[in-house]
Amino acid sequence: MEKILDIKDLHVSFTTYGGEVQAVRGVNLDLHKGETLAIVGESGCGKSVTANSIMKLIPSPPGKITQGSIHFKDQDLTKMSNKDIRKIRGVDISMIFQDPMTALNPTLTVGDQLTEGLKQHKKISSHDANEQAIEMLNLVGIPNPKERMKQHPHQFSGGMRQRIVIAMALICEPELLIADEPTTALDVTIQAQILQLFNKIQEQTGVSIILITHDLGVVAKIADRIAVMYAGKVIEVGTRREIFYNPQHPYTQGLLNSVPRLDQRGDELIPINGTPPDLFSPPKGCPFTARCPKAMEVCENVYPVHTKLSETQEVDCWLQDERAKKYIAT
């Protein structure tokens, strides 16, 4: 399969009064055409920052990509000028944000917001743009699109607004869609509808999706591959099957244990104790050491080696080392 996105050793930091926060510390990720990659992790692990860096949407200052590259097809996005990146935004790569209640401009009509991207990037008449917008609203399942185009965002419910946001992101037929917690702000029944919509859209348009979420339920539904992030690093990546049935990193295992399951009634949930490390001064070794039930001495001082377990599953953990296996056995 064709690789459309390749992130190599990405470092992003934010300069604050308290010092430099290293939000992303060497992320490697790739994405194939037509694939859905989910990035999961708890709040502050750098998943949103990674996503925003792809489109260069991190506020700068204080944010800055300090190292690494993001290759989209043949271009390195990190080296592009603001003017050039604007030609990519919305056309080749689109983004959907978390809260549909605030993602739409309250003073402009839905139609206006839908078509402005088209008009900006493609030489297209107002009439054609409107036609295309109506078609798009149809696709995302908004009834009476023609009348709805003239309405303002406050006349729509939360789920409908998220559909509009999705329509807006897809209208220029992008190759990559980045969805930053697209269902977090919606209630559960609407979540399911929106996830189905993602599936449907992917089937119809073949768009690649990066899905950022902390909701493992969402991930189980639509992700092909899953990347688990912790303290600014990707600590484990694999197919959905591998991550759910054969998680190797203690953090991934902890995450899965802390999710309520229908088939294990009555059992208590097992939380991961402690808090993530302070990213003002990230630890030398594995950042999960302090919370890890299987931590060894080496974990604290040296960052684990990157181990390839299968064609698709990779993990950063000392437990994969030959010597550790002996140590656990004894």
Is residue 103 within the footprint of another protein (CB under 8 A)? yes
Give the shortest CB-227-to-another protein separation in angstroms.
Answer: 22
Is residue 121 within the footprint of another protein (CB under 8 A)? yes
* CB nearer to another protein: pick between 94 and 183: 94
Q: How far apart are CA 29 and CA 305, in angstroms?
A: 17
Judged by CB under 8 A, the residue of 41, 68, 90, 250 near another protein is 90
Give the CB-side neighbour count of residue 85, counting CA atoms within 13 A.
15
* CB nearer to another protein: pick between 194 and 226: 194
The secondary structure element, H or E, covering residue 226 is strand 225-230
Is residue 210 within the footprint of another protein (CB under 8 A)? no
How big is the CA angle at 38 (ends 258 and 238), to the nearest 5 degrees? 80
Give the shortest CB-34-to-another protein separation in angstroms.
Answer: 22
Please identify which residue in the block is written with the tokens 């802390």.
Answer: 258
Distant-in-sequence, close-in-space partners of 19: CB < 8 Å, separation ≥ 6:
280
Residue 174, preceding peptide bond in cis (omega within 30° of 0): no
Q: How far apart are CA 30 and CA 2, in angstroms?
A: 11
Is residue 302 within the footprint of another protein (CB under 8 A)? no
Residues 144-173 that bind another protein (CB under 8 A): 152, 154-155, 165, 168-169
* CB nearer to another protein: pick between 30 and 116: 116
The secondary structure element, H or E, covering residue 67 is strand 63-72
Judged by CB under 8 A, the residue of 16, 60, 66, 102 near another protein is 102
Residues 3-62 that bind another protein (CB under 8 A): 55, 57
Q: How far apart are CA 277 and CA 48, in angstroms?
A: 18
Residues at the interface with another protein (CB under 8 A): 55, 57, 86-91, 94-95, 97, 99, 102-108, 116-117, 120-121, 152, 154-155, 165, 168-169
